[in-house]
A and B are shown apart, each in its own frame.
Chain A
């Protein structure tokens, strides 16, 4: 029997009918609209202040009765808001499932001072956008999250003294001729959406083309695939990216200043003083330098000096 197709519908009708039948919901593209690391752009337009001056500690760290530290000790663990994907500062080590990094060492020192045990911490992985609300609501005791201290944020939360002084630089592939942000005119440069880094790239005099992605590691994927010419952000984060790909290098001078602090609620000035005392101790006893050597590398510079406003 010969098949005859006189009655076939036109293909377009077929497709339309088929789609009506099979419209599976919820399969749109997936990459999340992101919120990211580093400072909010809004930070720039705020009353001037001295961002790096914090509350002076009252002697060595001590858990005084009735203090916030005493409450934390009674609870049994410190609640820390951290990053889980910034290599060498706060990241989840897939080999042992533990959160590690320079930021993490800072909170571990705080836990050690409260409990005598650096492991008494409940880590909460949070996004940049969750840092300030987490502190303000009281859900999180302390944030250690490559967080730049600035005047806008100081109106919402308190910060410890500076525990790391970062600045924005440029990461390129090892064979690149680029020597800094000035050489990137018209070229694609990657940073995370909403970061101060992306704003700085846009503002650079050489007019690079900013490319925004959700995560810093996404930038490295783009660099490895040749989709961008460079990544530009805090040198601390760049070092973490370079640590994952030996065929990259950090170049050029710093063109911004990003002092990192531990964020704490404005309700707990006693805790801010306590944390500053802890930082003062680890600056002096070599713990800070050991963490720096482990996570950032050698030579180890002098720790950023503590500045106080009393």
Chain B
């Protein structure tokens, strides 16, 4: 960068021997040294500030443009597949004439999973999520094929249908859901890193230290000039100082606002979303367990055991997913729905116990009716309420996340270019101010 304002006459005095220049015994020599030092300092300041800003802005950009969509895709794939598993099992339970709503819901789940799978694959590039996404792409058609075979056999009244459904569910739970969970986890990891880059404190401290150094040097330079020349104001240096103050204020405000927005996005957006999504996915799994236990009917209690295990994790209760989600959502728009979900879960467990009691005591048909048809106090209805509370809370939190993250990113608009231009103005100001004084010694 050679944007130093032309020293009016770069004649003999401006080209002393190197040794003399460095030792700077005379005032003009000192002035020359100061000029070079100040201009360099301004340019370095501009560079450092622009670098810090670009780091933060690219972090914020990543959050909004890449990590958040990928994390959303991952979570949607995971949820859609869990929902497909639960819906296929619950529809199967209704026999050959499965309810149209359940059929539509299953189809929508598969369509949604496929769509998010495609966009996630495009967004993931060569990231670690790519391999899991490939597993999902390969496994999804196999899964749907098995579910359709199960339906066809069920429609014929063959117990073989249940075996195909078990096989499909085994593929879903053994291969597809773990892959979806990993994609979600990888995407969330990426989101945390991007968000950390945009909000981390160390870089902000670098910026403050640099600003303090520049401010101090500018101040000392003007004091020194005053003591030497007895002129209070040098217009060039004043311009440089004003530019320094402006750039510092802009930086502090933009970085502060962006940080607050992104932290808000995290605290009231992505963190509750992740907690709620985990709870929802666990609830879906337990719902599938309930149906599969009724379908299996061979006295095999592994799905019921899984229900118990998932219920234990889901809660509510201290250290459980639901209570965690309620805590995470506290003070956010999804808080009401999250709390309602926790209450509904308890009622659902009670209804589930009734289903098991009926089924265990030879009343399979009544148990199925309670699990698969809508009605007050029916297990199926209570689960649907739990699920919609959780998805409602997730949607509310996602809105918060999106708007806060976008606001955080937008706070950086024009800032990088701005600090570069301001630092150039500072450099020119210093150069002009000092070269004026220097000229007076001719």
Residue of B nearest to A97 (CB): B365
* Contact assessment for A34 and B368 in the assembled complex, using a CB-CB cutoff below 8 Å: no
Q: How far is the CA of A190 from the CA of B160 in the complex (A)?
A: 15
Residue of A nearest to B153 (CB): A244
A-B CB proximity, top 10 nearest:
A18-B189, A32-B302, A3-B58, A127-B299, A217-B163, A22-B185, A29-B174, A122-B362, A84-B297, A18-B185
Contact of B188 among A2, A18, A126 (CB under 8 A): A18
Q: Is the interface of B mostly helix, strand, loop or mixed?
A: helix
Residue of A nearest to B172 (CB): A30
Contact residues of A between 1 and 60, Cβ < 8 Å to B: 1-9, 11-12, 14-15, 17-19, 21-27, 29-35
* Contact assessment for A122 and B303 in the assembled complex, using a CB-CB cutoff below 8 Å: no
* Contact assessment for A94 and B310 in the assembled complex, using a CB-CB cutoff below 8 Å: no
Interface residues, chain B, with chain A CB atoms under 8 Å away: 51, 53-55, 57-58, 61-62, 95-96, 127-128, 153-154, 157-164, 166-167, 169-170, 173-174, 177-178, 181-182, 184-190, 192-193, 197, 274, 278, 281-282, 285, 296-303, 306, 309-310, 313, 359-362, 364-365, 368, 412, 416-417
Which residues of B have CB within 8 Å of A35?
A: 300
* Contact assessment for A29 and B197 in the assembled complex, using a CB-CB cutoff below 8 Å: no
Contact of A91 among B96, B159, B167 (CB under 8 A): B159
Q: Does A93 contact B (CB under 8 A)?
A: yes
Interface size grouping (class) on chain A: 35 or more
* Contact assessment for A123 and B54 in the assembled complex, using a CB-CB cutoff below 8 Å: no
B345–chain A nearest beta-carbon distance, Å: 16
* Contact assessment for A221 and B167 in the assembled complex, using a CB-CB cutoff below 8 Å: yes
Q: Does A274 contact B (CB under 8 A)?
A: no
Contact of A124 among B62, B300, B361 (CB under 8 A): B361
Which residues of A have CB within 8 Å of B164?
A: 221
Contact residues of A between 192 and 243, Cβ < 8 Å to B: 214-215, 217-218, 220-221
Q: A3-B57, A26-B282 are in contact. Are A94 and B174 (CB under 8 A)?
A: no
Q: How far is the CA of A263 from the CA of B184 in the complex (A)?
A: 52
Which residues of A have CB within 8 Å of B281?
A: 24
Which residues of B have CB within 8 Å of A22?
A: 181, 184-185, 188, 274, 278
Which residues of B have CB within 8 Å of A17?
A: 189, 192-193
Which residues of B have CB within 8 Å of A245?
A: 160
Q: Does A87 contact B (CB under 8 A)?
A: yes
* Contact assessment for A21 and B189 in the assembled complex, using a CB-CB cutoff below 8 Å: yes
* Contact assessment for A124 and B189 in the assembled complex, using a CB-CB cutoff below 8 Å: no
A144–chain B nearest beta-carbon distance, Å: 13
Which residues of A have CB within 8 Å of B274?
A: 21-22
* Contact assessment for B54 and A4 in the assembled complex, using a CB-CB cutoff below 8 Å: yes
Q: Does A130 contact B (CB under 8 A)?
A: yes
* Contact assessment for B364 and A92 in the assembled complex, using a CB-CB cutoff below 8 Å: yes
Q: How far is the CA of A22 from the CA of B127 in the complex (A)?
A: 18
Residue of B nearest to A86 (CB): B159
Q: How far is the CA of A253 from the CA of B278 in the complex (A)?
A: 55
Residue of B nearest to A32 (CB): B302
Q: How far is the CA of A306 from the CA of B281 in the complex (A)?
A: 56
Contact of B192 among A21, A32, A218, A221 (CB under 8 A): A21
Residue of B nearest to A121 (CB): B362
Contact of A4 among B58, B189, B362 (CB under 8 A): B58
* Contact assessment for A3 and B188 in the assembled complex, using a CB-CB cutoff below 8 Å: no
* Contact assessment for B128 and A14 in the assembled complex, using a CB-CB cutoff below 8 Å: yes
